[in-house]
Amino acid sequence: MEFQLWWLLSWPLFFGLGWLAARIDIRHLVRESRSLPRSYLSGLNFLLKEQPDKAIDAFLEAVRIDPQTVELHFALGNLFRRRGELDRAIRIHQSLVDREDLDDVQGLQALQELGEDYLKAGLLDRAEDVYLKLRGTSHNEAANDALLEIYQQEKNWQRAIEIARDMPRRGSHRWEVDIANFYCEMATTALAHSEFNRALGLLEEALATNRTSVRANLLRGDVFVALKRDAEAVDAWQAIGDQDPAYLSLVADRLMDAHRRLGHEEKGALFLRTHLYQTPSLDLLEIVFKWEIERNGPEAAYALVRDELKRNPTMLGLEKLLEAASRTVDSDMKDDIELVKKLIHGHTRRVARYCCKSCGFKARQFYWRCPACGGWETYPPKRTEEFDLAV
């Protein structure tokens, strides 16, 4: 390719144009920085140094010097909220909402910030009013999230259902699971007030929304027992074995009681033992173990736990094995077994917990909604030891 002389001559020209553009940008930046109050720059410096108290003082001074600085008000309000001074944050953001000189984008942002202040302060009715205004705007998604949380805190399940039905799917999250649980919450209240037909209707809605809702069938069984319809209760609870057999441990006791009242306890025990073999569960083992001791004696219970321990080796299972063994030996050996059992029990107390698969929060009792992250059905019905082995 032949070299062109004019290329060489153009380099100084390009260099000069670049230098001139840089000078213009620098002058513009300097001019803007000089127009800002010095306290504003000090506030930014304090923020970078993670000194929010001094930053707030500096921003307050900047707002006093230049009350029209909108971004300063936003920064100041957010700092107050982070510090927990919610009354001051509310005043700052309310003053922005009341201003008529804000454009639409700033006005919606001010409203969003005010809603967050109210929500964090626990002023749910005021937060609800704000977020209802934000629905249908560019803040619609955040507004729906906040409203859903508000209605769950207020236990206004019908409104929660309406909001959740309008929310788009997010990744693997299925809103049908949440909605079915909202129906179950209403059904629980109806059951507590002996409104059995209403409870059954709500549970049918839950299953229509989410056919895999284990909780709906669990509650249907409870309603049928209250109506003295044990055969239908058994059908509802045994359907859980088709939905997710891991949850059978939550109804095993009630299922056996219903079978006992119907006069075919052996049939119920066979059903549970079959599912225990197919889906190992420490909680289910506890129920079947107790039935074996009462019905067939400690030797049969020992054989049951021994077989389960071979298939699913856990410390909790070992504790059950020792309990069965202590009932089959003489007094001298029994004392030794009890001693070992006590030592193991100290360890099993730490692993005999349920664990949220979403946030990792652990609890001794089972929850349909995690107390920490608020997720529905994030607790597998397995103890921590089983959960860790499965992972």
For 199, residues 6+ apart whose C-beta sits below 8 A from its C-beta are 187, 188, 190, 191, 219, 223
- Identity at 377, one-letter amino acid code: E
Q: Is 373 annotated as a binding residue?
A: yes
Alpha-carbon distance of 333 to 336, in angstroms, equals: 5
Would you put residue 330 in left (φ > 0), alpha (ψ -120 to 50) or beta?
Answer: beta
Q: Is 69 in contact with 75 (CB distance < 8 Å)? A: no
Which distant-in-sequence residues (6+ apart) come within 8 Å of 167 by Cβ? 144, 148, 175
- Residue 362 gets which letter from DSSP? E
CB of 86 closer than 8 Å to CB of 121: yes
184 is in an annotated binding site: no
DSSP annotation string for 146-161: HHHHHHHHTT-HHHHH
Alpha-carbon distances, residue 28 vs 2, 23, 24, 25, 69 (angstroms): 42, 9, 6, 5, 19
Whether residue 355 is annotated as binding a ligand: the answer is: no
Buried b (16+ CB within 10 A) or exposed e, 131-157: bebbeeeebeeebbebbbbbbbeeebb
| DSSP assignment string, 285-335 | HHHHHHHHHHHH-HHHHHHHHHHHHHHS--HHHHHHHHHHHHTTS-HHHHH
Placement of tokens 């957010």 in the chain: 78
User: What φ, ψ does residue 376 adopt, rounded to 5°?
Assistant: -90, 135
Place of tokens 């560019």: 138
Measured from the Cβ of residue 78, the count of other Cβ atoms closer than 10 Å reads 16
- The candidate with the shortest Cα–Cα distance to 108, out of 119, 93, 127, 128, is 93
The annotation places the binding site at: 356, 359, 370, 373
The annotation places the binding site for Fe cation at: 356, 359, 370, 373
